[in-house]
Amino acid sequence: MTTGSERSDADTTQIRDSLLAVVRVLVPVFLALFVGALILLSFGKDPLTYYGYVISRGLFSPSGLEATITRIAPLLLIAAGLIVAFRAGIWNLGVDGQFLLASVVTAALAPVLMDSMPRGLTIVTCFAVSTAVAAAWSLLPAFLKVRYGINEIITTLMMSFLGISLSNVLVKIAFNDPSTTVPQTATLPVDERLPRLFDTTIHSGVLIALVALLLVHLMMTRTAFGLKLQVVGANPRAAVHTGLAVGKLTYATFAISAGLAGLAGSVEILGVWGTMRADWNPAYGLLVIPLVFLARFHGAATIGFVLFFAVLMIGGESASRRLGVPQYYVLVLVSLLLIFFALVEYLDQRWRKQARA
Amino acid sequence: MNTGSTDPAAAATAAHSGGGEGFVELRGITKRFPGVLANDDISLDFRPGEIHVLLGENGAGKSTLIGILAGMQQPDAGEIRVRGASVRIGSPRESLELGIGTVFQHVLLVQSLTVLENLMLGGAWWRRIDRDAALKRFRELSELLALEISPDALVGRLSLGQQQQVEIVRALWRGEGVLVLDEPTSMLTPEGVRELGQVMVRLRDEGVAIVFITHKLQEAYAFGDRISVLRLGKLVGSIDKERLSGMDEQAVTDEVIRLMFGSTEGHDQDAETLSGLGHRRPHLSAERQAEEPCLNLRAVSTQGDVGECPLQDVSFSLFPGEILGIAGVDGNGQKHLAEAVAGQRLAAQGEIFLEGAKIERLGVPDRRKLGIRYITDERLGEGTVGAFSVAHNVVMKEIGQPPLWRHGISLWDRIFAHARGQIREHDVRTPSERTPIGRLSGGNIQKVLLARELADDLVGEAKVVVFNKPTYGLDLQSTRFARDRIRRGAESGLATILISTELDELIELSDRIAVMFQGRLAGIVENGEGVEREIGLLMTGAAAA
Amino acid sequence: MGALLTEAFITSLVFGAITAGVPLLLAGLGEQISEKSGVLNIGIEGMMLMGAYCGFAAAYYSGSFWAGFLFGGLGGAAVAVLMAVFCVRFGMNQIVIGIALTLGVEGLTALLHFFQFSRTYPRLGESGALRIPLLSDIPVLGSALFAHHPLVYLAVAVVFALGWVFRSTFIGFNLEAAGNKPSALDAAGVSVIATRVYAVLSTGFLAGIGGAYMANVGAGLFIPFMTGGAGFIGIVLAMLARGRPLWVLFGALLFGASLALTTALQVAGLNIPTDVVQMLPFAMVMLVLVIFGRHSYLPPALGHPYVRGER
């Protein structure tokens, strides 16, 4: 009846909602840090020193911040691919194999092309070829899913194992640089790698990743293609009913998702390492999958989560050298964060349901 | 478990002498859901040796009441007494242990286990399986119910009717106390319904208290010893055994309609819809049918997965302005027929012509452009994406097409504006076009589907429309709305295929009625006097056309 | 080819196939139980790793291999408790929690290893194989098949026991119903949640023993991240076996054989990179899928948390 009180109600709801959103982020972070602190204490390490060091190294020291932002590039590219796949209801759990194969291809191709091509063209060619290779690696799971309805969780996992082994074989046998003792590919000189941004060690792959994520976001929200993918993901039977070409869309989803994972590998090689060593496997895929879930497949939220975890990784790497807490501890912290984020979200949904009732 | 009530004589005495005494007594049962009072202070008795019919339209609170009896839901207030003792039915197990067996509307059997294994399900896990005892009990009940099902048959390979029989066996498995049947006739042939009636009578005479839930008046009269009417969560009245035995069908109908609507006058339409006595359409004249048919199927066959019934050699013609009813027990190939016409499933063999042009190789979008529309029976299963907005769902079959998309870019302003127009035009009750469609009632979801399929403004004119069970699960008002739409469509010249398991609906609307049996068209009959009997025979496969 | 088929080669290959296959077998059997009940247990990798650590620590401090296996199983089950609470009881996302638990266990066991063992790198002694009389004296295959730690025979017994449980006990029916039509199980008065919780716990226990075997018998020591995807192979085995334990056994031996092939080839004097050989079983499975591609059967309710009244 009284519009005035309605408006103030709306205002308070809005304030309460934004407060709740902050609480939903802070509570799990606090809980994870608290449980993590208990673990550190049990090993006889001072948690406050550790956390302080991680944050100051990962976020507030110039070199640490540069490393953090550099680390974001492959994670965001993988995340962009996973957002497409998960929105379309496809479980691409084979990211690591796709990533590594693309890395090998880039590492093998770049030094060879460099001799005959300008840097820009070399880089673009490497991107294109490695993206295509990664996409091709997902062709078989896509075929098996479309043709026989075989669950892609198994097939992508298997192709991932295959891809990891194959990339090692390629490094050790096909593209081994005979001049080094450890098996690795020929090294790309620093000035032939991805251009750096300004005077930092951050390479331009970060921009590529941000653009890719933005494009994926626009594709999913503003195009017919994105909407079709979401229909397939949300209700595959509705997709059949409305006459969508589910098979083609499935192939496209696999290709985009794997292709972006491949691009991540290519960017990581061209931007950071310049070479690929045998048995190198950062296993980013396993880490990014839950992050994308926590971000609810949302682009901006994904950037937030990825940044947060990059800080932890970089800070944790420094801390392991300095404080004698192995880098593995970061995995524990990541795990705790994932669990508490999921738990808080679960409780939040339950309370809302009760509030509605 | 219930030695007292299995003795028919004792049970009969109890039923007659006790007056208010029942096997199960509900007192003041109240259950709230967000925004709905599903059960409002309901008091009922279920007595041994009596078939108690609970009558009410969809949404009247019948299912909630059953959920409470079966231990799936707890009442917010009220008391349940079983054999005089107040009980709390906290779980399905407690319900079974109290001697209450429930046959739900949707089959609750594990498809990958055998009949006997399904029946034994629920045994304490540390026990050894006593197959012989189970087999003995199965034989006993098979004999009682006069069933012929192999105990070792895989449930997934049984027909729906057989699966329902297995469910009845299971409901009685731990003792014949109370048998609750929730809309049990919806997937049975007229013959199956008759058999079910015989089974119920046999069980009643054994002293079982039977609760029979239905929304069909005729069934209430045919089977009930006592009829209670629910409306909007309230018990609005009952006809007890003594009175019922002295009334004829017309009197019962009048009484029930009076109970449901307060008078026989004011709610003519509701009463008609409910009793299946709606106006029949004037039939299409024979000359009209001599014209060029709009749609032609020639010897169409499909292939199906396990558990589906594919089409075999189906041929018919459909004329503009005609409604062809498709009768038959659920699962006899109706779904494949609808999908084969819509283009959702390509025919393995045979030809389909639309106005003389071959279309059997075309997919859904192409056939849609040519004027074929399909309103599916699975509104949330495949018709819509529940988590998406009403607007998304309104345009779901047009994704990527101008004018709502340009070069593949979504023009959301236009899409939402279009949706708002459709919502207004079709009287869809929704808070906004951005509300997830899954939150709407079944009737409103159906309106969205009707809007999407019958609209002409985006893809050109509709010519052939397939309705698959268009009123399934809808309340009276929405049912009437949907039937009106079908009738108006045909009057404007649409060639209509109406698939339904409700014979009344088919007789009310159709010009001709085809019967499907095991994937074949068992026959096509002209609608008219005495058509029920003909259809009934065809449905069982007893007669070939 | 003739040179390959020497006695030493075959003995080494078969023996190695079994040693490498037993952890996969236990993981695959465990995963099969979860999947039958409708839970996709992605956390199994973490359960194995926790089993490997706990099993090794227990065996190292107690000196008993059996204590090692017991605590390995309990360690795996402890991780499974978290999986059960979060995914089955609360209905949280099975993939997020599964991966989170795996990451956490990887970190935690590596930390524990760092603070406890990284300076000394202790090893366990001989596991004490049980040479079955007569059978183990059969030439070539005898010592390859019948001279293993008793746990190996026990694991094979579990295959047949599980087959019996699935086919002809109430537990088997309940698992089948929980994965195929949970509402039917609920209506029959059996708790779907409890059934799935027990299934996940069994998975953890079996996977944990598998991890412990890997550490104690296979390697003789604990190394961080030592399971290296064995749990995921277990998932693959369970999905391909379509609910039949015997198929898990065949699959595990096949994968085990390919893992053992490198060592065996080295015995035979051939040096083929491990990576090539490790690709074989996966390549073979993919090939089989492409050639004989059939619709893979998975329980309809797999991956969906059960909420009463929702279908």
Q: How far is CA B105 from the centre of its chain?
A: 8
pLDDT at res. C76: 97
- Give the Cα separation of B524 and B516 in Å (integer): 9
Report if residue C149 sits inside a domain.
Answer: yes
- Mean pLDDT, chain B, rounded, equals 83
Q: Kindly indicate the confidence band of residue B13, based on its pLDDT and cuts at 50, 70 and 90.
A: very low
From A43, A149, A328, residue closest to C296, measured CB to CB? A149
B327 and B259 share a domain?
A: no
Question: For chain C, what's the residue count?
Answer: 311
Crossing angle (nearest 10°) for helices A3-42 and A328-356? 150
Distance CA B256, CA B249 (A): 10
Dihedral over alpha carbons A160, A163, A167, A170 (to 10 degrees): 170
Which is it for the CA torsion B440, B441, B445, B450, positive or negative?
negative
User: pLDDT at position B290, please?
Assistant: 59
pLDDT at B374: 95
Q: Name the C residues in 37-56 with CB < 8 Å from any A CB.
A: 40
Interchain pair C293, A144: CB under 8 A: yes
In a domain, B340, yes or no: yes
Which two three-digit tokens encode residue B353?
A: 């012509």
Identify whether residues B34 and B146 lie together within a single domain.
yes
Model confidence at B178: pLDDT above 70: yes
What angle is formed at CA C37 by the lines to CA C32 and CA C38, rounded to 5 degrees? 95
For residue B138, the model assigns a pLDDT of 92
Q: Which of B85, B460, B508 is nearest to B274 (CA)?
A: B508
Q: Who's near B48: CB < 8 A, 6+ residues apart?
A: B5, B11, B12, B14, B15, B23, B207, B208, B209
Q: Are B239 and B321 in a shared domain?
A: no
Specify if B328 maps to a domain.
yes
Q: Do A223 and B385 touch (CB under 8 A)?
A: no
Spans of all domains in chain A: 67-282
The tokens 């508490």 sit on which residue? A340
Give A 162-221 residues with CB within 8 A of chain C: 162, 165-166, 168-169, 172-173
Residue B288 has pLDDT above 80, yes or no: no
Q: Do B259 and B296 belong together in one domain?
A: no
Q: Are residues B254 and B294 in the same domain?
A: no
A242: nearest CB among B34, B397, B408:
B397
pTM of the model: 0.83
d(CA B196, CA B189): 10
Determine the pLDDT at residue B11: 38
Burial of B87 (C-beta count, 10 Å sphere; 0-12/13-18/19+): middle
On the question of pLDDT at B528 being above 50, the answer is: yes
Cβ atoms of residues C88 and C39 within 8 Å: yes
The answer to whether the CB of C18 falls within 8 A of the CB of C152 is yes
Does any CB of chain A come closer than 8 Å to the CB of residue C232?
A: yes
Residue B122 distance to chain C (closest CA, Å): 5
Please state at what angle helix B442-454 crosses helix B412-425, rounded to 10 degrees: 110
Q: What CA–CA distance (Å, rounded) separates A140 from A132?
A: 14
Confidence class for position B464, pLDDT limits 50, 70, 90: very high
- The sign of the dihedral angle between the CA atoms of A90, A93, A94, A100 is positive
Confidence check: pLDDT of B74 > 50: yes
Give the pLDDT score at B64. 86
Examine residue C2 and state whether it is found in any structural domain, yes or no. Answer: no
Radius of gyration of chain C (CA): 20
What is the average pLDDT across B472-476?
80
Contact residues on chain B for A234, CB-CB shorter than 8 A: 385, 387-388
Are A66 and A202 contacting, i.e. CB atoms less than 8 angstroms apart? yes
CA distance A328 to chain C (A): 5
For residue C218, give both structure tokens.
């296979």
Q: Which chains touch A (3 or more CB pairs under 8 A)?
A: B, C
Task: Give the percent of chain B with pLDDT over 70.
Answer: 88
| Residue C301 placed within a domain | no
What is the rounded distance in angstroms from the CA atom of residue B272 to the CA atom of residue B249?
Answer: 15
* Closest C-alpha to C114, from A326, B487, B249: A326
Contact call for residues B515 and B328 (beta carbons, < 8 A) = yes
The answer to whether B106 faces chain C, any CB pair under 8 Å, is: yes
What is the layout of strands, in order, in the sheet containing B295-301?
B314-318, B295-301, B349-354, B357-358
Q: Give me the CATH number covering residue C51.
A: 1.10.3470.10
Q: Is A336 exposed, middle or buried (0-12, 13-18, 19+ CB in 10 A)?
A: buried
Nearest to B72 among C170, C181, C308 (CB): C308
Q: Are residues B261 and B225 in the same domain?
A: yes
Q: What pLDDT, on a 0 to 100 scale, did the predictor assign at position B280?
A: 58
| Residue C108 in contact with partner chain B when CB distance is under 8 A | no
Query: What residue ranges of chain C have pLDDT lower than 70?
Result: 1-5, 127, 134, 140, 142, 144, 267, 293-297, 309-311
Whole-angstrom distance, CA of residue B39 vs CA of residue B28: 9
Tokens 């009990």 -> residue? B137
Q: Is the dihedral of CA A167, A172, A173, A174 positive or negative?
A: positive
Q: How far is CA C188 from the centre of its chain?
A: 32
The answer to the question of residue C305 being in a domain is no
Q: For residue B154, give the CATH number of its domain.
A: 3.40.50.300
Maximum alpha-carbon separation in chain A: 83
pLDDT band at B3 (very low <50, low <70, confident <90, very high): very low
Distance in Å, alpha carbon of A229 to nearest chain B alpha carbon? 11
Contact call for C184 and B108, based on CB within 8 A: yes
Question: How does residue B5 score in pLDDT terms, banded at 50, 70 and 90?
Answer: very low
Of B267, A206, A60, B121, the C-alpha closest to C170 is B121
* Cβ-count burial B286-312 (b if 16+ within 10 Å, e if not): eeebeeebbbbbbebbbeeeeeebbbb
B-facing residues of A in 188-227 (CB < 8 A) are: 221-225, 227
What is the domain count for chain B? 2
Question: Which residues from chain B sit within 8 angstroms of residue C178, using beta carbons?
Answer: none
Domain that holds residue C113: 7-291
Chain C stretch 162-201, residues whose beta carbon is closer than 8 A to a beta carbon of chain B = 168-171, 173-174, 176-177, 180-181, 183-190
Which residues of chain B lie closer than 8 angstroms to C170, CB-CB? Answer: 120-121, 123-127, 129
CA distance B27 to C111: 62
pLDDT (0 to 100) of residue B285: 57
* Domain span holding position B100: 3-268
Cβ density class B172-204: b for 16+ within 10 Å, e for less: bbbbbbbbbbbbbbbbbbbbbbebbbebbeebb
Q: In DSSP terms, which residues pair with A8 in a beta bridge? A: none
Distance CA A39, CA A335 (A): 13
Say if residue B190's pLDDT is above 80: no
Cβ neighbours of C121 (radius 10 Å): 10
- pLDDT score for C9: 78
| Residues in contact with A225: Cβ distance below 8 Å, sequence separation at least 6, in sequence order | A219, A252, B400, B408
Q: Check pLDDT > 50 for residue B194.
A: yes
Of B161-165, B384-388, C117-121, give the range with the top mean pLDDT: B384-388
Inform me whether the pLDDT recorded for B501 exceeds 90: no
> Same domain for B248 and B363?
no
Residue-level pLDDT at B275: 59
Number of domains in chain C: 1
Chains that contact B by 3+ CB pairs under 8 Å? A, C
* Range list of β-strands (E), B118-271: 178-182, 209-214, 226-231, 234-239
One DSSP character per residue, A210-274 reads: HHHHHHHHHHHHHBHHHHHHHHHHH-HHHHHHTT--HHHHHHHHHHHHHHHHHHHHHHHIIIIIS
Q: Which residues of chain A have pLDDT under 50?
A: 1-4
Query: What are B210-265's pLDDT values in tens digits?
Result: 999 887 777 888 888 999 988 888 888 888 888 888 888 788 888 887 777 665 45
Give yes or no: residues B17 and B155 share one domain: yes
Does a structural domain hold residue B292? yes
Identify whether the C-beta of residue B225 lies closer than 8 Å to the C-beta of residue B209.
Answer: no
B72-81, B87-96, C66-75, C130-139 — most confident range: C66-75
Q: Which two tokens stand for residue C108?
A: 């935690």
pLDDT score of C295 = 55
Residue B514 to residue B530: CA distance in whole angstroms: 15
Band the pLDDT of B16: cuts 50, 70, 90. Answer: very low
Question: Three-state SS across chain C?
Answer: CCCCCCHHHHHHHHHHHHHHHHHHHHHHHHHHHHHHCCCCCCCHHHHHHHHHHHHHHHHHHHCCHHHHHHHHHHHHHHHHHHHHHHHHHCCCCHHHHHHHHHHHHHHHHHHHHHHHCCCCCCCCCCCCCEECCCHHHCCCHHHHHCEECHHHHHHHHHHHHHHHHHHHCHHHHHHHHHHHCHHHHHHCCCCHHHHHHHHHHHHHHHHHHHHHHHHHHHHCCCCCCCCCCHHHHHHHHHHHHCCCHHHHHHHHHHHHHHHHHHHHHHHCCCCCCHHHHHHHHHHHHHHHHHHCCCCCCCCCCCCCCCCCCCC
Residues of B in contact with C176 (CB under 8 A): 110, 112-113
For residues B171 and B221, membership in a common domain is answered with yes
Of B239, B268, B297, the one marking the end of a domain is B268
> Which pLDDT score, from 0 to 100, does residue A92 have?
92
pLDDT tens for B342-363 read 999 999 999 999 998 999 999 9
> Binning pLDDT at 50, 70 and 90, where does residue B281 land?
low
**Cis peptide leading into residue B293 (ω within 30°):** no
C309·B67 Cβ contact <8 A: yes
Residues B341 and B198 in one domain: no
